[in-house]
Homo-oligomer: A and B are copies of this chain.
């Protein structure tokens, strides 16, 4: 049972509801306060529905509740640097698959910043199918990300592989990515939920959209609504592409959840020559942004070289995608925008005076 409280609910009213519900958990989100009963002896919905201070009740939870469209009809926007992801401006998160060295990352970052990227991606911790593949520079990678972030002003998006990574990322990272293989790593989802900063949650290659939303629900239940969903391709029988980018996900998610949705055409296709067309398509479908791999020298990349754009191709992507963005009433940053700070993210929860339990 999930009870949504009225904004006007008084403390005594809240206490009364808490005492009626088995094993209650309090969640505060920017769009509302909720009491979640996990106990098997929860009262019926009809009984709680009419208590003072209660706005609405969901008695059966077969799908997402906090992540469902109805929970926030206005739509959630997630601040990432100066962009409000989910608003009119599109997010463009660009950079190399892996952080390889300072020169590589700085070159890529300066270029993508100059052509309108709104955030920098780059992996320090790399989940790799083989234990013999390059596993990332780890702490060294985080240090490079920090340095490049200071130099360029670009907010940084990078992947955490386990809960303890999240702590290490507290100071450097602006948005923690939960990778496709980790979409149902529930301890990790809870950890990024408690971290209180933006989360980029990628769809698993065999995960339905319903499961993606329930994975987001794990984050929201911890009191963090700053979740950006990311379609990055699913696994099908087709081998012409590395994955099958499922752009259907964009309109379906838009109708079912209030969270912003971006698209990763690099992993979604695995082919450099398909990235730009699919970036255009993603924006035309209504995505709130894209995340793309860009490398100064893709042929020497330590990972994902086949799908990384060259710097020139990134410029082309921005030019072409900008026109499509305008055709659908959205906006892409213009080249040369300067990022002076990425610390202006509103601290959504502190003003509400309530922690999560």
A residues with CB within 8 A of B: 36, 38, 61-63, 65, 127-132, 161-163, 181-182, 184-188, 204-206, 208-211, 214, 217-218, 221, 234-241, 244-248, 250-252, 255, 268-269, 271, 273-274, 277-278, 280-286, 320, 323-324, 326-328
The 8 closest A-B pairs by CB, nearest first: A206-B206, A284-B284, A281-B285, A323-B327, A327-B327, A281-B281, A280-B284, A251-B274
What's the Cα separation between A280 and B326 when bound, in Å? 13
Q: A218-B131, A238-B209, A327-B323 are in contact. Are A252 and B280 (CB under 8 A)?
A: no
Please give me the residue from chain B that is nearest to A210 by CB atom. B240
Which residue of chain B is the closest to A234 with respect to CB atoms?
A: B236
Smallest CB–CB gap between A273 and chain B, Å?
6
Residues of B within 8 A of A250 (CB): 277, 281
Cβ–Cβ < 8 Å partners of A283 in chain B: 284
- Asked if residues B236 and A244 are in contact (CB atoms below 8 Å), the reply is yes
Contact, CB under 8 Å: B273 / A255 = yes
> Which residues from chain B contact A327 at a C-beta distance below 8 Å?
323-324, 326-327
- In the assembled complex, the Cα of A286 lies from the Cα of B285 at a distance in Å of 13
Given that A186-B127, A278-B251, A328-B320 are known contacts, is A208 also in contact with B237, CB under 8 Å in the complex?
yes
Could you say which residues of chain B place their CB within 8 Å of the CB of A323?
Answer: 327-328
* Chain B residue, CB-CB nearest to A286: B277
Taking a contact as CB atoms closer than 8 A, the residue among B36, B238, B251, B328 that contacts A246 in the complex is B238
Q: Name the contact of A181 in the complex, choosing from B61, B184, B278, B326 (C-beta under 8 A).
A: B184
A324 surroundings in chain B (CB, below 8 A) = 284, 324, 327-328
Q: How far is the CB of A117 from chain B (nearest CB, A)?
A: 20
Known interface pairs A61-B132, A250-B281; 18 further A-B residue pairs with C-beta atoms within 8 A, sorted by A's residue number? A36-B132, A38-B132, A61-B130, A63-B130, A129-B184, A130-B217, A131-B218, A131-B221, A162-B162, A162-B163, A162-B185, A182-B185, A206-B235, A235-B235, A240-B252, A278-B285, A284-B285, A324-B328
Chain B residues within an 8 Å CB radius of A285: 277-278, 280-281, 284
Q: CB within 8 A of A281: which of B182, B208, B284?
A: B284
Chain B residues within 8 Å of A131, by CB: 186, 214, 217-218, 221
CB-CB under 8 A from A65, the residues of chain B are 132
Q: Which of A61, A205, A251 has the most CB of B within 10 A?
A: A251
Q: A38-B132, A132-B61, A247-B247 are in contact. Are A240 and B274 (CB under 8 A)?
A: no
B252 and A241 contacting across the interface, CB-CB below 8 Å: yes
Tell me, in angstroms, the Cα distance from A300 to B185 when the chains sit together: 27
Sampled A-B contacts (7; CB under 8 Å): A131-B214, A161-B186, A208-B238, A209-B240, A248-B269, A251-B271, A324-B324
Contacts of A221 in B (CB 8 A): 131
* Cα distance A90–B154 in the bound complex, in angstroms: 39
Using Cβ atoms and an 8 Å threshold, which residues of chain B touch A163? Answer: 162
